[in-house]
Structure 1
Amino acid sequence: MMIVVGAVYMKRSNNTEEYFLGGRGLSGWVAALSAQASDMSGWLLMGLPGAVYAMGTGQAWIAVGLFLGTVFNWVCISSRLRRYTIVANNSLTIPAYFENRFRDKKRILLLVSSIVIVIFFLVYTASALAAGGKLFNSVFHVDYHIALAIGAIVILAYTFMGGFMAVCVTDFIQGTLMLIGLLTVPIVAYCVMHGNISEILNQSGVEGGAASFLNMMTNGERNFTPVEIFSQLAWGLGYCGMPHILTRFMAVRDEKELKKSRVIAITWVALSLTAAVTIGVLGRAYLYPTILGTEGAVSNENVFIEMITKIFTVDYALPFIGGIFLCGILAAIMSTADSQLLVTASSVAEDIYHNFIKKDAENSTIMKISRATVVVVAVLAFLIAWNPDSSIMGLVSNAWAGLGSAFGPIVLLSLFWRRTNLAGGIAGIVSGGVTVLVWDYLPLVHGETLGVATGVYSLAVGFLISVLMIVVFSLATKAPDQEILDEFDRVKAMKNQK
């Protein structure tokens, strides 16, 4: 069905604005569900429930941070970003917005931000493909690598054909399916267990019993430290810098639709995150140890899959209904992977090829480059996800930190601090991205990375350093030209206008 949607919208995607931004014609419902479905991905239905299943409700601090980040993003950033990208020469991508916002004639910002997008979105897309591989492997017992290929081909097909509108419409369908599955399955599981959750948890191998497992201040076998809670809450900072979410704000039809989107998106996220945490808790009581644990499957990230399978094929003979709910997991995976493929394609084709390699390229040529990029990125992400033991949570964590640290601070300050200039923007993007790479990948402390040694999430460190660099470099260099300041004031004055 998703491929059919892609084929329908292929005929409508005749130019770059249609392919990358849907002609700025998204409705409130489609924008809201598309933004949140592309955001949450397989992480919501596999990574988060798996972490809660293994360690307890203390892992829900990540969900709290993400909810706060979602609210801030929709309330404070969405409207102003939409206005600013229109005023700033109708910017179609986030890198193009940076270039137009700071009048970067040498296009340094454009190149740097495009490179950052390609690097971290490769990892992000790989996490979605890995989730798809684990889903097909668990449900159909297909070899992980074959399962990985099937998921990649389907996602690739409709993104390649239909562009932004195909991605958004399929995200709307997928987001609806995700929410139905997230809300229905834990309710059914609770009824099947007759509500005896605490009693069952005490027998489920949890260190400290139900009291410990259900305590948000414990992390597995010990108490949470303030640093660990801060690191989990820091996930919310990433929202300010996610290109695949920010482009939805840019593409909404008008301010009225954007206000509608805000309410829908925040409600969807609150319900979905709560349900995902509940699935982890109920799964521990329902599945351990024979289905998922010492005697069954070993991957905690399969908790939602195993719960659906047990309820609808073992306890009740309703495999078709179970299949629909398993489609919700596939929908979560697809809705993120397609968005990331499209953002990467826009960065390569529009921002790098069109602006650096061939400035007089025709629309048809840019479209071909875009679609070729979608194929290449999908193949590279496929290779990154090749290891069946790769952690969905780990891949998402690294990519989220890189994008959030590189782009979050400059998006925020470019919209709300008049003094931000080109030098500050370049310093912020580079310092944020490099900090995450150093923090997460270089073994600098007795063979361990700084992230492992300190327990501090790289996003918190990278975001702070990026903000400091933007402020220091902006104040230490020439103030923005009057033209830029006037444009900033004009956007600010549009606050109450439609």
Structure 2
Amino acid sequence: MNNVIIVEFALYFIVIIGIGYLTSRTKMSHSVFLLGGKKLPGWALAFSERATGESAWLLLGFTGFVFTTGLAGIWVAAGIALGIIFSWLVLAKKFMHETDKHKVLTLPDYLAVNFGAKANIIRWVSSILIASFFMFYVGAQLAGAGKLFFTSFEMDKTLGIVLATIVVLAIAFFGGFISVVWTDMIQSIMMLITLCVLPVVALIYIGTHDLSITQSLATAGDSFNSWFGGTTGFALGILFFNNFSWFFGYLGGQPQLSARFMALKNEKEAKQGISVAIIWTIMAYTGAFLIGIAAIAMYNQGSFTDVETILPHMILDLMPPWIAGILLSGILAAIITTANSQLMVVTSSVSEDIIHKALGMNLSDNQLLWVSKITILVSGLVGMVIALTSDSLLYLIVSWAWAGVGCTLSPAILMTFFWKRYSGTGVIATIISGFIFTVLWISTPLDSIITSRFSTFFIAAFFGILFSLLFPDKQPTKE
């Protein structure tokens, strides 16, 4: 182990937990714990939303995907970037206004209050959907931490997962949403530094060591040097939709991202957030794509037993220890921000949507606050167990969760926003069909042909429209 990197990791842990503790000293109510009480600036929420949205998937999963795919990997970045830009330009202000109008704290509760007759059923099915997939999502982040510690220090992955779990739980437990957003903001900047500095250094290395990206792409595989993966006709359409399909999960259905929109204070703060989020997205995805392409020139295919460790390997190979420690901390930052935010989503679904609203338990504000904190601890430990017992790849787990939650709830949100004939039965049909078809789809070879991210969105939308027309609300319940 390199002592310099170990010291920098230790300092990083201390600083992040310290920020979480200091921000937790805000006077805390249940609503402030879950959504910040409309006290956070738009630029901080934008940094937090971006760090939350990308996670270890961007730094480990996407860079590894580009390394094994080549130029065609650009369509994943394009789909995601357009989805992020659309969500901020079109949906962020809508979420802000709807939250103020209905006084809600969670995405399931927003869906529920618009369809009063079916409100509790909607809360139950949406909360079960979120909890089911997000436990695996949290586990994927913690598994990413284990990979990082193993690659950086040859540390036992189990110990790495346990350490990351402790930090994640400490931040979320202390101050809830406010602590998570402020630590996210710091970590979002760290992620951006890693994604912008490393490709520049890698390209300089390639240029000074007489390596050729063009030649490496040509020799890596038949399709690596083609923007469309060497496909034509129907196969080209499948490749495009499979890679571009991440777009559909950004259309309002990711509760950990939509919470940042709901927490916006006013139009001015929303405009700040839009600018920060779009700039961050363009810089981060350009950097991540270039890292994957540069890795093709630097390493042979088959050089790694796990391609999702390419980025930390590149950092250790190219950087002096004191810089490597900072950049590796950027990967850890991505893991912690997303795991924190996902824990907050699960917590809010349990304490607000189920215990407070669906079950109607008469608890004081302080009791609800402690229910949320206990839920954080339990959910974090479950996520840790999943990380310790699963060998699944980050890219695949996040892809499935993206379909199961984002591509299921996105059509529900869009139709609630923009279609007056959408009914409570239609919402329930959207959520149940999205859940069932995602599980069925990923359990069959169909997912390798057409990704569940694409199929789930349109299947859930189809059933939502069909059941809304067949079973309209007798009296309009949404304004």
Q: Report the TM range for the smaller structure's normalisation.
A: over 0.9
- Which residue is equivalent to 2:145? 132
| Distance in 1 (alpha carbons) for counterparts of 2:125 and 2:334 | 30
8 Å CA contact 1:217–1:224 kept in 2: the answer is no
| Distance in 1 (alpha carbons) for counterparts of 2:422 and 2:314 | 50
| Distance in 2 (alpha carbons) for counterparts of 1:203 and 1:20 | 47
- Which residue is equivalent to 1:236? 247
8 Å CA contact 1:341–1:377 kept in 2: the answer is yes
- Which residue is equivalent to 2:385? 383
Matched, 1:225 2:236: yes
In the TM superposition, what is the alpha-carbon distance from 1:23 to its structure 2 partner?
0.3
- Which residue is equivalent to 1:451? 447
- Which residue is equivalent to 1:325? 327
- Which residue is equivalent to 1:303? 310
Q: Report the 3-state secondary structure (helix = DSSP H, G, I; strand = E; otherwise coil) of the residue aligned with 1:107.
A: helix
Q: Could you give the per-residue CA deviations for residues 326-378 of structure 1, whole angstroms, max 9, x where no partner exists?
A: 11111111111100001100101111112244521111111111111111111
Q: What code does the residue aligned with 1:235 have?
A: W
| Distance in 1 (alpha carbons) for counterparts of 2:37 and 2:409 | 24
8 Å CA contact 2:43–2:276 kept in 1: the answer is yes
| Distance in 2 (alpha carbons) for counterparts of 1:305 and 1:204 | 25
Q: What code does the residue aligned with 1:300 have?
A: V
Q: Could you give the per-residue CA deviations for residues 43-65 of structure 1, whole angstroms, max 9, x where no partner exists?
A: 11010110111221212211111
| Distance in 2 (alpha carbons) for counterparts of 1:380 and 1:386 | 10
Cα pair distance change 1:113/1:202, threshold 3 Å? closer
- Which residue is equivalent to 1:42? 56
8 Å CA contact 2:249–2:453 kept in 1: the answer is yes
| Distance in 2 (alpha carbons) for counterparts of 1:225 and 1:106 | 43
Q: What code does the residue aligned with 1:140 have?
A: F
- Which residue is equivalent to 2:203? 190
| Distance in 2 (alpha carbons) for counterparts of 1:480 and 1:163 | 40
- Of residues 271, 276, 282, the one that matches 1:259 is 271
- Of residues 323, 343, 346, the one that matches 1:344 is 346
8 Å CA contact 1:201–1:284 kept in 2: the answer is no
Matched, 1:72 2:86: yes
Q: How does 1:262-277 map to 2 (within 5 A)?
A: 262-277=274-289
| Distance in 2 (alpha carbons) for counterparts of 1:273 and 1:57 | 13
In the TM superposition, what is the alpha-carbon distance from 1:11 to its structure 2 partner?
2.4
Normalising by structure 1, what TM-score? 0.89
| Distance in 1 (alpha carbons) for counterparts of 2:230 and 2:374 | 45
| Distance in 2 (alpha carbons) for counterparts of 1:410 and 1:199 | 44
Q: Report the 3-state secondary structure (helix = DSSP H, G, I; strand = E; otherwise coil) of the residue aligned with 1:213.
A: coil
| Distance in 2 (alpha carbons) for counterparts of 1:153 and 1:144 | 14
> Number of residues paired by the alignment?
462
Q: Report the 3-state secondary structure (helix = DSSP H, G, I; strand = E; otherwise coil) of the residue aligned with 2:221.
A: coil
Q: Could you give the per-residue CA deviations for residues 445-485 of structure 1, whole angstroms, max 9, x where no partner exists?
A: xxxx3213xx1011211111111112121122234635x35
Q: What code does the residue aligned with 1:450 have?
A: L
8 Å CA contact 2:17–2:167 kept in 1: the answer is yes
Cα pair distance change 1:21/1:199, threshold 3 Å? closer
- Of residues 145, 166, 169, the one that matches 2:182 is 169
Matched, 1:62 2:76: yes
| Distance in 2 (alpha carbons) for counterparts of 1:201 and 1:372 | 55
Runs of 4+ in 1 over 6 A off after TM superposition: none
Cα pair distance change 1:164/1:480, threshold 3 Å? farther
Q: Report the 3-state secondary structure (helix = DSSP H, G, I; strand = E; otherwise coil) of the residue aligned with 2:430.
A: helix
Matched, 1:394 2:396: yes
| Distance in 1 (alpha carbons) for counterparts of 2:77 and 2:107 | 26
- Which residue is equivalent to 2:166? 153
8 Å CA contact 2:216–2:296 kept in 1: the answer is no
Q: Percent of aligned pairs with the same residue?
A: 34
- Which residue is equivalent to 1:8? 22
Cα pair distance change 1:13/1:235, threshold 3 Å? farther
8 Å CA contact 1:123–1:384 kept in 2: the answer is yes
8 Å CA contact 1:178–1:332 kept in 2: the answer is yes
Cα pair distance change 1:30/1:199, threshold 3 Å? closer
CA RMSD of superposed structures (Å): 2.0
Q: Report the 3-state secondary structure (helix = DSSP H, G, I; strand = E; otherwise coil) of the residue aligned with 2:220.
A: coil
8 Å CA contact 1:3–1:154 kept in 2: the answer is yes
Q: Which moved more, 1:276-285 or 1:96-105?
A: 96-105
8 Å CA contact 1:7–1:158 kept in 2: the answer is yes
- Of residues 468, 471, 476, the one that matches 1:474 is 468
- Which residue is equivalent to 1:415? 417
In the TM superposition, what is the alpha-carbon distance from 1:381 to its structure 2 partner?
1.3
8 Å CA contact 1:116–1:406 kept in 2: the answer is no
| Distance in 2 (alpha carbons) for counterparts of 1:256 and 1:481 | 36
Give the unaligned 5+ runs of structure 2.
1-14
| Distance in 1 (alpha carbons) for counterparts of 2:271 and 2:447 | 38
